[in-house]
Structure 1
Amino acid sequence: MTVLHRPPLDLSATTGGVLPQIAARIDDAIATRHDLHQHPELAFEEHRTSARVAELLQQWGYAVTTGIGGTGLVGTLQRGQGTRRLGLRADIDALPIHEDSGLSYASRRDGLMHACGHDGHTAILLSAAHYLAHHGRFDGTLQLVFQPAEETGSGASRMIADGLFERFPVDAIYGLHNWPGVPTGHFGFVDGPAMASVDWAQLRVVGNGGHGAEPQHAVDPILAAAHIVTALQSVVSRNVDPRQMGVVTVGSIHGGKAANVIPDVVELTLTVRAYLPEVRDTLRRRVIEIAEQTAAAFGARAEISFPRGFPSVINHPEQTALVREVAHAAFGRGQVVEDFAPRTASEDFAFLLQARPGSFVFVGNGDSAPLHSPRYVFNDAAIAPAASLWARLAEHYLVESTT
């Protein structure tokens, strides 16, 4: 029988948390982040980013495998004879947003921007990677996953389909995201559902157009669509337990071009979100029923395209407790947001957590513009604390085993 012995954690420690070796080269980490920020790349187009990450990892002694799920890559570092295997993930893609930050190192690609801080997440993991390669004390295998296409919700599942966990086995997988409005470098941990599932629906309300002066000869899809929008507001309020979360938002509606013409078709788009799978299924069922039956009540027809998006991020309790314990010991309880609440945004890290146990962590970005804003700025002061958390987690997780 193999017994794993981890060094005890001093939960009363308030050492500031940042490892001195990481602090000593923070200028290099920031320079890497700024370089990535200037050269953003969209989902599955992250060729320059992937090449730059691979170059650095190889310089530091990692075995690097590229082209996983398209533009993804994994850096592997093995030490000793330990059988423990830890995965740490960063996302690398940008968004189709024109930057309006005023930064001296703003995006050089018109209409593209790192507006969600993935350049920061990459710099954090690279900073931890450097420390672990040069100073890390561990016995086991590190798998550093740099994932493309998080923003489209397809990068994680594409890497998994390409054999990510068969080719690069892990016992646990961790990821993080910066969060505006949380003090810089402070950490948030959530047990269970941490971010929402997301599904998108496209709805066509098909009627029979005609002259606006003779509505009795037409089937008005605008009227039917208006009633559908109103009725959809009942989906959450009358079908979901008030103690659970659900969101049904009609984000766009288009139909008609002239005041005196009833159109044939009105088109709507919806976003639907939940924490729990059963709530997600309820929302889906009720949106379809209400759209179809309300349209029929007005003599119209509802055509719905409602593909599955990606599931909610559900953190595993044991892995979440461990990383929270590491943060408490390294940074003190004052740097952990104890009442950190789940977020209703979505993350395709959910697919990784469906495949392997792990946890998704939040790190404060301070008083910045919201994520996905053209004025959003990743806070470089978050790099050293977050990188130190990853490094400390890896050293604590990958411990020598004795028989």
Structure 2
Amino acid sequence: MKDKLMSMLGERKNEMIEIRRHLHEYPELSFKEEKTAQYIADFYKGKDVEIQTNVGNGFGIIVTITGGKPGKTIGLRADFDALPIVEETPVPFKSKNEGIMHACGHDGHTAYMLILADCLIQLKSEVAGTIKIIHQHAEEVPPGGAKSIIESGLLDDLDEVYGIHLLPIAPVGMVGFNKGYAFNGRAYMKLKIQGRGGHGSSPHLANDAIVAGAHFVTAIQTIISRRLSPFDIGVITIGSFDGAGTFNVIKDSVVLEGDIRYMTVETQETIERELKRLAKGIEAEFDVQCDLTYTPDYPPLYNNPELTEKVAITLINANVKEITEVKEVPPMAPSEDFAYYAERFPACFFYIGCTPKGVDKPYFNHHPKFDIDEDALLVAAKAVGQVVCSIQGE
């Protein structure tokens, strides 16, 4: 089966590229991917599979391939939403949806997965067990699509789940893996500080919300430097400080919004506890009222070490010419809602290098000039295909 699958994928490389370019031209935002979802569903029409659409809190799709032999039930996930970014790449298949761009490679994820799935459908009599293809909506915007797809119950029978992400800072042919915590978790913070406004000449008659807010911005960095172990990872970013007013008027209230990142649940709990403590301290010190909203969204992504080790060994021994290097890479700072699958099932999420040809300093994901080398699509398909075949042999 493995040799047949690798041959079939190689013959359909150009089709992967065509699909990716079509999706790139017509990107859709999270929770609004109606046409993309229809394109995916149409691809499977007439094929010998079970198709479930509108799964979860949006346009999720699960395609079930029932093999001809007994075996495990595994999930293969690919996301398909885009970002609110104005594209600046010079490609001829540039986004035709103004202000929306596939700047994270989800078009590529979907393209390789469609062709891989189709090849597995054709080989289903040789497949041991069941393969569930998870076409997931809304990875980019909390609460995301993954959590709701899991809550649908349609994946309750999974034994394992796998996913990949295209990585432009790594060369084509490189497959990266990370055992244990691989992506940061993320939380959202909003703080409204209600003071007492007044005349700029008479600060003693007011309680200045801007001064209190500025103190909070500085103080919270001590959470990272003085409350976390030096071996723990945590980041607090205040991305918005809404204190606009008039130069000679003491501001009555301000609103701050922040982004919190962490690599373990324990670190998240520490940051949350300390933020709340500091907000109470600001109230006492400046005689203001603080209304703090703290909302954890995506958890840290944890790769099952044993499963990830098997994936690494499989790919190292795969003897696939397109896979030129398999290596362990450091954890990634961004967040990824694949983490919800990894909380529920043994999981492995790995990386596929895709640095564009002739580029020394590639743009990272979410940049308006983000691009990929489309040769990486075949690498992704063959790498995941190899993993599927290795499970067949267990």
TM-score interval, smaller chain: over 0.9
Q: Which runs of 5+ in 2 are unaligned?
A: none
Contact persistence 2:173–2:325 (CA under 8 A): no
- Mean alpha-carbon deviation: is it higher for 47-56 or for 388-397? 47-56
**Correspondent of 2:12 among 2, 21, 25:** 25
State the AA in 2 paired with 1:341: P
Distance 2:284 2:354 in 1: 48
Q: Secondary structure at the match of 2:48?
A: coil
Percent same amino acid among aligned pairs?
34
Q: Secondary structure at the match of 1:238?
A: helix
Aligned to 1:4: none
Q: Secondary structure at the match of 2:295?
A: coil
State the AA in 2 paired with 1:396: S
The two structures have a TM-score, normalised by structure 2, of 0.92
Deviation at 1:60, TM superposition (A): 4.3
Deviation at 1:226, TM superposition (A): 1.0
Deviation at 1:130, TM superposition (A): 2.5
Contact persistence 2:217–2:238 (CA under 8 A): yes
Please tell me whether residue 273 in structure 1 is matched to residue 261 in structure 2.
yes
Matches within 5 A, 1:9-48: 19-48=6-35
Deviation at 1:370, TM superposition (A): 1.5
Aligned to 2:381: 387
After superposition, the CA RMSD in angstroms is 2.1
Matches within 5 A, 1:167-316: 169-316=157-304
**Correspondent of 1:348 among 329, 332, 337:** 337
Q: Secondary structure at the match of 2:38?
A: helix
- Mean alpha-carbon deviation: is it higher for 49-58 or for 301-310? 49-58
Aligned to 1:338: 327
Q: Which runs of 5+ in 1 are unaligned?
A: 1-6, 8-14
Q: Secondary structure at the match of 2:225?
A: helix
Matches within 5 A, 1:37-116: 37-69=24-56, 70-116=58-104
Deviation at 1:296, TM superposition (A): 2.4
Please tell me whether residue 163 in structure 1 is matched to residue 153 in structure 2.
yes
**CA deviation map 1:100-150 (0-9, x unaligned):** 112211111111111111111111211211322235743111110001111
**Cα distance change of structure 1 residues 288 and 258 upon mapping to structure 2, 3 Å threshold:** same
**CA deviation map 1:140-168 (0-9, x unaligned):** 111100011111132011111222313xx
**Cα distance change of structure 1 residues 337 and 204 upon mapping to structure 2, 3 Å threshold:** farther
Distance 2:110 2:48 in 1: 18
Deviation at 1:39, TM superposition (A): 1.1
State the AA in 1 paired with 2:7: P
Deviation at 1:291, TM superposition (A): 2.3
Deviation at 1:336, TM superposition (A): 3.6
Deviation at 1:339, TM superposition (A): 4.0
Distance 1:229 1:52 in 2: 46
Contact persistence 1:86–1:398 (CA under 8 A): no
The two structures have a TM-score, normalised by structure 1, of 0.90
- Mean alpha-carbon deviation: is it higher for 256-265 or for 56-65? 56-65
Q: Secondary structure at the match of 1:84?
A: strand
Q: Which structure has the higher relative contact order (CA within 8 Å, separation 6+)?
A: 1
Contact persistence 1:225–1:295 (CA under 8 A): no
Contact persistence 1:64–1:74 (CA under 8 A): yes
